[in-house]
Amino acid sequence: MAFDFIRTDLDEQKSKSRYRQLVCNHVVEQDGYIKVNGKTYLNFSSNDYLGLNNHLAINKALQEGADKFGVCSSSSSLVTGYHYAHQALEEDICQWLDKPKCLLFSSGYSANLALFHALGKSDNSQFFLDKLSHASMIDGAYQSKAKVKRFNHNNIEQLTKLLTNSGTSANKLVASEGVFSMDGCQAKVSDLATLAKSHQAWLYLDDAHSIGVIGDKGQGSNWLADIDITMATLGKAVATSGAFLTCNDELHDYLVNFSRHYIYSTAMSPAMAWASRKSIELIQKEQWRRDKITELSALFSDLLAPQVELVTTQSSIHAIIIGDEEKTIRVSEQLKKQGVWLTPIRPPTVAANTSRLRVTICSNHNTKDIKYLAECINKAIA
Ligand SMILES: Cc1ncc(COP(=O)(O)O)c(C=O)c1O
């Protein structure tokens, strides 16, 4: 049979309890619930950290954006796809993060590929990546021409050694996530910024899970230090879709002129850009959403039984490491029977033997939800 690796690989995936299937959610994620196959579940796997999905004002802005600019940009940005909605959103983001330039992408995945490809133009570039960096950063880095070195998670000492031994001539980029997607812990942002500067390296942070959640206005890692280049998806706390990258004027110009991911892709929906502006306005104003995550996360941690291995964090993401794929699926299925949705996270998304429940605590959960979640997890894991 042609392409018979397809069947072999799928069979192997099943035999390792790593097989994945799509599940269709039948309701808009509202108040922290989803509906699958006719049953409603409390959803603790969503990335809608601030509970802004389906917010009336954002929906209204989306409609207004569609009326003013259309749903579709109708071309790539350099042809005619760059609308006033995009320009206004970029300006808002520059102000919010206090950065000179911003560029929009249709997804965080493509923004990461674009950045690493652009800076990894030659083997005179060197990338230093935290080992837990997202797949899109790893793909971008290794598909580029740069030399790639990985440092152990948050290990500043090892990174210092790598930078010290890296010579003087190369273009160096230190890259990490701001908040790590599968663990929820934060990068040592100010240490990374200081270290990068002292080695004439640039610092790149993927703030997919920090934006909206970290900082007194939800500005993410830039609240903690001055980051040279920041990428964040709009599909998580901002609760719309697409992504942005902030940087200096020259890199912005360079990406506009040379990034194939930017140039040869239809610009993001202008209606979505307009809706994103409203969401970012709310994120800056509504500190109570971040306070709620902190308060509910502390409650969750207090209520868990001692045998539950929780990674404690300052973010919305709280990992409960179970280890084995099969056991993780079993616990997840048991929780489903109690009406709690927690998608099991397995390799290759996380390292072997670290399969886990990735609990996301969002501003649209309440005390009752968290008490119920902790009670169900304690029963399932004890
Ligand atoms: C850390 C990180 N970076 C990038 C992405 C990709 O962003 P997008 O979903 O907008 O493609 C994700 C997840 O989706 C992520 O978790």
Residues with CB under 6 A from ligand 1: 107-109, 112, 134, 136, 177, 181, 206, 208, 233, 235, 243
C-alpha–C-alpha distance, residues 222 and 199, integer Å? 20
Question: Would you call 209 a catalytic residue per the annotation?
Answer: yes
Residue 85: name the closest of 219, 267, 252 by CA. Answer: 267
Question: CA-to-CA distance for 66 and 269, rounded, in angstroms?
Answer: 9
C-alpha 40 – ligand 1 centre gap (Å): 26
What pLDDT is recorded for position 93? 98
Cα 124–chain centre separation: 29
Report long-range pairs for 155-163 (Cβ below 8 Å, ≥24 apart).
156/188, 156/191, 156/192, 156/195, 159/128, 159/192, 159/195, 160/195, 162/128, 163/128, 163/195, 163/199, 163/201
CA 343 to chain CA centroid, Å, is 16
Determine which one of 55, 86, 117, 134 is catalytic: 134
pLDDT at 30: 62
Contacts of 56 (CB under 8 A, 6+ apart): none
CATH topology of domain 56-285: Aspartate Aminotransferase; domain 2 (3.40.640)
Give the range among 19-28, 183-192, 339-348 with minimum mean pLDDT. Answer: 19-28
pLDDT of residue 311: 85
Ordered strands of the 317-323 beta sheet: 317-323, 355-360, 344-345
pLDDT digits (tens, 9 = 90+) for 267-314: 999 999 999 999 999 999 999 999 999 999 999 999 999 999 898 899
User: Which candidate in 46, 181, 279, 355 is catalytic?
Assistant: 181
Residues 245-255: b if buried by 16+ CB within 10 A, e if exposed: bbbeeebbeeb
For residue 176, report the distance from its CA to the centre of ligand 1, in Å: 13
For residue 94, the surrounding DSSP H or E stretch is: helix 84-97
Residue 242 DSSP symbol: -
Task: Report residue 59: phi and psi, to 5°.
Answer: -60, -40
* Centre of ligand 1 from the C-alpha of residue 134, in Å: 8
**Whether 29 is catalytic:** no
Domain range summary for the chain, segments of one domain joined by +: 14-43+287-381, 56-285
Domains 14-43+287-381 and 56-285 share a fold: no
pTM of the model: 0.95
Looking at residue 309, what is its pLDDT? Answer: 86
Q: Which fold has domain 14-43+287-381?
A: Aspartate Aminotransferase, domain 1 (3.90.1150)
Which residues lie across from 173 on neighbouring strands? 127, 202
Task: Categorize the per-residue pLDDT at 28 as very low, low, confident or very high, splitting at 50, 70 and 90.
Answer: low
